[in-house]
Structure 1
Amino acid sequence: MLANKTSIISPSVTIGISTKVKELNRQGIEVTSLSIGEPDFFTPDKVKQAAIEAIHANKTKYDSASGLFELKQAIVDKLKRDNHVSYDLDEIVVTSGAKHAISNALLAILNPNDEVIIPKPYWTSYPEMVKLLNGTPVFVNTKEENSFKLQAAELKALISNKTKAVFITNPSNPTGAVYTKEELEPIVKMCIENQIYILADEIYEKITFDDDFTSIASLSEEAKNMTITINGLSKSASMTGWRLGYTATNKKLASAMSAIQGHLVSHPSTITQWAAVEAINNCEADTKHMVDTYHSRRNEVIQMFEDIEDLSIVRPDGAFYVFINISKLKAYIDTPDSFSLEVCNRLLDDYRLAIVPGIAFGLDDYVRITYAADMETIKTGIEKMKQFINDLKK
């Protein structure tokens, strides 16, 4: 009696791992977790206080489907200040997290069997979202030597008359790669020429270490018109559970997404939205502290992996992940199923270490760890990986 689409999607691997870790913890079993992509900082106190004040001021009624006026104004100001692109208020739609923003966008642009190009490795939910909304995911096999960043020639090879959009995740989850302006320009030019929407997932934009961040919509007016900018506050303000995201698009798309949202969820929590106004306007110092901490950890983690000859990493320039090539371990592990899942299951079952298999991101020769954890936990996790490899060789 279920809809056919429920049979073609897979459960979230990352959420599944998190659930398993929590169950082990409830059993009193301690697990070193480097799996979940969540800041290990609390939401800034000033943001929590803004939410409390909104409650006491009875700012808890229905509001506009596309978001509070005050929050949309803060987003417009932020985009102009930080991303160097100008939007009007009616081009912003506030959502219940970035996932919701992506869902709104796909609902607004996809007809049945429209194709969405997704570079590998991808964030785990992209293909399932596309399939749920009757689209067809088309995967690009990017190259490790390019830090898995999409190349214009790779995109060109997959464009068809059914292509509606392409995902560009910048900075990347799971690799931490950051596109430069020069790397983005030929990709964007091709999308403009072929009238392909760019789903620009920029949720990690604040977490970059070595290069200035370039927002795709800032490249030109034509780029802005074809770009659906996805962003939110889960990573930059450590507001994962608050569920606050947004899109910035042309007016026609924003109007469509606002109408869709109005029927499906009305609007995000008004309390969360008032907290978000404070986060966007007054939390730059809090974000900088988090990013400086991640940067320091990133540098330490890179040094740690230099001493592990059986593993290699993609150097992360942003976000808070390390994507690890484990292909050399195939010499010691034979499995008919997913190789990366087998490695992660053994690490969790035998070493009580939780990390994410690369198959969740479309590449089975890799695993992902996060350094959104204290350094003691990170060091313990990497030591467990070393021990696992040493035991394999015995």
Structure 2
Amino acid sequence: MAIDSKAKALLAQGRDVVNFGAGEPDFDTPENIRDAGIKAINHGHTRYTAVGGIEALKSAICERIYADTGVQYTNEEILVSVGAKHSLYNATMALINPQDGVLLPVPYWVTYPEQITLAEGTVEYVPIAPSHEGELRVDDLAAAVTSRSKGLILNSPSNPSGAVIRPSVLEDIARFVIDHDLWVISDEIYNRLIYDDAVHASIAKFDGMKDRTILINGVSKSYAMTGWRIGYAAGPKHIIKAMSSLQSQSTSNPSTISQYAALEALTGPQEAVTVMQREFDRRRRYIVGRLNTMPKLSVATPQGAFYVWVNMEGWVGETIRGRLVQNADDLALAWLELADVAVVPGSGFGMPNYFRMSYATSMERIETGLDRMAALLEEAR
């Protein structure tokens, strides 16, 4: 947050800051989806809907999940909410009681531990062994599980690392979950942004897992609809009912207009998703290649999402223009103040010697930002 605040202040001063912090696609929402929103307004779809969303959208969500994962849901097992973050909050509050332990792989998206804390649960951090290259494995979980453990949060593809858990490994995790009688909240918001030979699978597809999994997704990332605020959860009826009761007393239904736009996103032409995925892939290859040529930085090639997760441990103890670098926060501040480049330090994700960069920005800006970063590091060699 401190880096973000500083970046915004510099931008307000007229500085040309290249921002690699964006957690949203830089594409416009596809025209057919925008038109559906306008049509909804013109047709008078501007009143309350049922708390959990319109039935047509729920049906479309069921079809989309089945197409993507092979898991079959009914409308009664779906809750539409105000973005995937809202879906995650509803699930956490419905499942976690005070002092319940929740296994959380590291690195993690910054909101997960805060939501667990809001539910008065206990965060049980799960470091991923370096040899696993960002992919959660059963032995990581076995080293962290306790008698208080009630749930596990999965995020594949991962924010911030872009790692994708292979189906065979996910099946092993499913057996571990059943053996330890755990719930799973599976955040699959980046499931359609996959590269190379990576395969997305949902843990809900494995035997015995649908009844103990809350699958979270939405339209924000795949359809460039971050501002429309539509996410959804799929899970057992009694949990979805509890989540709906909570939502009823907090936000009520998500935007009616946005629901109709999301319906078009899920049921209309899908070419825009492919176009975005291909462009993200092009940027991904370029940014990884450039970063791995910079002194004392290393990055594994991400297989999903639109982030790279960069190891900067080689710079710990070094000095850049008289500034001592002790962690990624220090390096990020140096890049921001001395080179007008904003990256996100890994301290917020549980790993202070890493930083996250988003390639959800134009190739031109990526090139400019990387040139500036490289120049400052070369100066300090």
Range into which the TM-score falls when normalised by the shorter chain: over 0.9
Partner of 2:135: 149
Task: Report how far residue 24 of structure 1 moved.
Answer: 2.6
Counterpart amino acid of residue 348 in structure 1: L
Counterpart amino acid of residue 217 in structure 1: A
Instruction: Within 5 Å, give how 1:244-393 maps onto structure 2.
Output: 244-333=230-319, 339-393=327-381
- Does the CA contact (< 8 Å) of 2:124 and 2:145 recur in 1? no
TM-score when scaled to structure 2?
0.96
1:116 aligns to what SS in structure 2?
strand
Partner Cα separation in structure 2 for residue 17 and residue 243 of structure 1:
25
% of aligned pairs identical? 36
Task: Report how far residue 17 of structure 1 moved.
Answer: 4.2
Partner Cα separation in structure 2 for residue 354 and residue 81 of structure 1:
38
Please tell me whether residue 213 in structure 1 is matched to residue 205 in structure 2.
no
Q: Deviations over 1:303-332 (max 9, x none)?
A: 212322311002101111111110001131
Q: Deviations over 1:259-283 (max 9, x none)?
A: 1111111111111101000011114
Partner Cα separation in structure 1 for residue 330 and residue 31 of structure 2:
41
TM-score when scaled to structure 1?
0.92
Please tell me whether residue 204 in structure 1 is matched to residue 215 in structure 2.
no
Q: Deviations over 1:14-60 (max 9, x none)?
A: xx544543333232221011111110101011111111111111111
Q: 1:99 aligns with which of 85, 96, 100?
A: 85
- Does the CA contact (< 8 Å) of 1:311 and 1:325 recur in 2? yes
- Does the CA contact (< 8 Å) of 1:90 and 1:251 recur in 2? yes
Task: Report how far residue 360 of structure 1 moved.
Answer: 1.2
Task: Report how far residue 79 of structure 1 moved.
Answer: 1.1
Partner Cα separation in structure 2 for residue 106 and residue 255 of structure 1:
14
Partner Cα separation in structure 2 for residue 26 and residue 51 of structure 1:
32
Q: Decide whether aligned partners of structure 1 residues 17 and 267 sit closer, same or farther in structure 2, where only a CA change above 3 A counts.
A: farther
Q: 2:157 aligns with which of 171, 177, 181?
A: 171
2:316 aligns to what SS in structure 1?
helix
List gaps (5 residues or longer) in structure 2.
none
Cα RMSD (Å):
1.6
Partner of 1:9: none
Partner Cα separation in structure 2 for residue 23 and residue 99 of structure 1:
27
Partner Cα separation in structure 2 for residue 33 and residue 106 of structure 1:
31
- Does the CA contact (< 8 Å) of 1:73 and 1:89 recur in 2? yes
Task: Report how far residue 337 of structure 1 moved.
Answer: 9.5
Instruction: List structure 1 runs of 4+ shifted beyond 2 angstroms.
Output: 16-27, 333-338
Q: Deviations over 1:131-175 (max 9, x none)?
A: 112111111111233122211112122222211111111001111
Q: Decide whether aligned partners of structure 1 residues 340 and 113 sit closer, same or farther in structure 2, where only a CA change above 3 A counts.
A: same
Partner Cα separation in structure 2 for residue 266 and residue 276 of structure 1:
18
2:209 aligns to what SS in structure 1?
helix
Q: 2:211 aligns with which of 220, 225, 229?
A: 225
